[in-house]
């Protein structure tokens, strides 16, 4: 695909970045290590780390020693196991609160579950500094607590995100404790995420698992690609199950073990079944079926009903950061995807 053919809004979507926003750094202290404050030790061992940033991470509970949070004056000991959860790029400096409708599915003192509509970018980035979900959440939090200002907005909130044109459930953390807990669950692959997708073609198997690293395309750096040999990118695992077959397209359930950028979209394209109307990965044209006038018109009508990739984050489950209880949330399909499925059901039943 030529870069010049990618529309501006697609470029914005592609620039959104990885779904999982935290990376984990694992360190084991050498046997001969002399006692040393952990903040000084981490500054020496982590590239581009400043003492101030390290101390902020410690205060936020994102540094664990032998599985427990510590104070900045903790002195490391030989063979200490250190885990640092490092946020890649999410900062609230400069975020402008904006009033916007938010579909809040659930909320308590630690977490918020938001049902994101398609077309909404999650976090400000180049070309999208306003009008994002985070701008709306910032405004919402200010209205709930007038002591919150643009200067002291909570530093944390996002522990993952979904693509601009994907709809569905997201969990946001409201406290540093919740960020640490959820980031660990995402990294340990214990978060339950179930998506529904309409893909091109009739899958050969009723269920399966796609294992292929996902990383940036070697030639087109704004795109992502699958690397089944694991020679590039990051580990990515998607489990799928067929829910309904329509001959030319198939409704599938996808459960993520990992959360890489565009993972489901890239994996399904990799096995020859791109998502319906996914303009970035080849699903916005007739992939299966003979191109004759009536069928072509039917598919074009389907594209109009659902003018984006047919992908919805239906379910999210996790362990609550404070209570330790299992939390599970499930959303209904949005009107565009449910209308699309109804259209295909009618077509294959001969009622169209």
240 pLDDT band, cuts 50/70/90, is very high
Domain boundary among 168, 187, 206: 187
Q: Count, in order, helices (H) and strands (E) of the chain.
A: 8, 17
Angle between helices 51-59 and 38-45 (to 10 degrees): 120
> Domain containing 128 — which CATH number?
3.30.2350.10
Comparing C-alpha atoms, which of 13, 76, 14, 84 is closest to residue 48? 84
> What does the block give as tokens for 195?
């998506």
Asked if the model's pLDDT at residue 6 lies above 60, the reply is no
- 171 within domain boundaries: yes
Statement to judge: residues 240 and 327 lie in one domain: yes
Q: What is the pLDDT of residues 21-68, one digit of tens each?
A: 666 778 888 888 888 999 888 888 877 778 888 888 888 777 889 888
Q: Would you call 163 a catalytic residue per the annotation?
A: yes
Look at the pTM and tell me if it is higher than 0.85.
no
> Domain containing 26 — which CATH number?
3.10.290.10
Q: How far apart are CA 230 and CA 239, in angstroms?
A: 18
Statement to judge: residues 221 and 335 lie in one domain: yes
Give me the catalytic one of 39, 163, 225, 336.
163
Q: What is the pLDDT of residues 107-132, one digit of tens each?
A: 999 999 999 999 999 887 666 678 88
- 1 within domain boundaries: no
**Mean predicted confidence (pLDDT) in 318-324:** 96
How many domains are there within the chain?
3
Output b/e per residue, 43-68; b: 16+ Cβ within 10 A. beebeebeeebbbebbebbbbbbeee
- 3 within domain boundaries: no
Give the pLDDT of residue 305: 97
- 322 within domain boundaries: yes
How many alpha carbons fall within 13 Å on the CB side of residue 136? 17
Give the pLDDT of residue 163: 92
């Amino acid at each position: 695909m030529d870069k010049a053919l990618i529309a501006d809004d697609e470029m914005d979507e592609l620039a959104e970045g990885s779904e999982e926003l935290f990376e984990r750094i694992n360190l084991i202290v050498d046997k001969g290590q002399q006692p040393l404050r952990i903040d000084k030790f981490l500054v020496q061992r982590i590239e581009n780390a400043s003492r101030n940033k390290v101390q902020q991470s410690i205060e936020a509970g994102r540094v664990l020693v032998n599985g427990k949070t510590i104070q900045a004056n903790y002195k490391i000991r030989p063979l200490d196991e250190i885990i640092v959860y490092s946020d890649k790029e999410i900062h609230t400096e400069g975020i402008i609160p904006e009033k916007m409708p938010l579909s809040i599915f659930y909320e308590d003192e630690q977490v918020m579950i938001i049902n994101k509509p398609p077309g909404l970018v999650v976090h400000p980035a180049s070309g999208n500094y306003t009008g994002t979900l985070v701008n709306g959440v910032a405004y919402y939090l200010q209205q709930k607590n007038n002591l919150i200002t643009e200067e002291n907005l909570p530093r944390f909130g996002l522990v993952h995100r979904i693509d601009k044109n994907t709809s569905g459930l997201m969990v946001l953390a409201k406290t540093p404790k919740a960020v640490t807990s959820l980031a660990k669950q995402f990294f340990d692959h214990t978060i339950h995420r179930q998506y529904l997708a309409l893909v091109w073609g009739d899958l050969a198997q009723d269920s399966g698992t796609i294992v292929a690293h996902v990383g940036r395309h070697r030639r087109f750096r704004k795109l992502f690609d699958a690397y089944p040999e694991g020679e590039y990118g990051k580990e990515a695992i998607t489990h799928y199950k067929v829910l309904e077959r329509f001959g030319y397209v198939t409704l599938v359930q996808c459960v993520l073990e990992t959360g890489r950028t565009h993972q489901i979209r890239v994996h399904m394209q990799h096995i020859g079944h791109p998502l319906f109307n996914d303009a970035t990965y080849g699903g916005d044209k007739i992939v299966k079926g003979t191109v004759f006038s009536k069928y072509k018109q039917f598919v074009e009508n389907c594209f109009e009903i659902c003018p984006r990739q047919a992908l919805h984050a239906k379910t999210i489950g996790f362990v609550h950061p404070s209570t330790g209880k299992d939390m599970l949330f499930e959303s209904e399909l949005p009107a565009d995807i449910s209308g699309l499925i109804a259209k295909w059901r009618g077509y294959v039943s001969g009622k169209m």
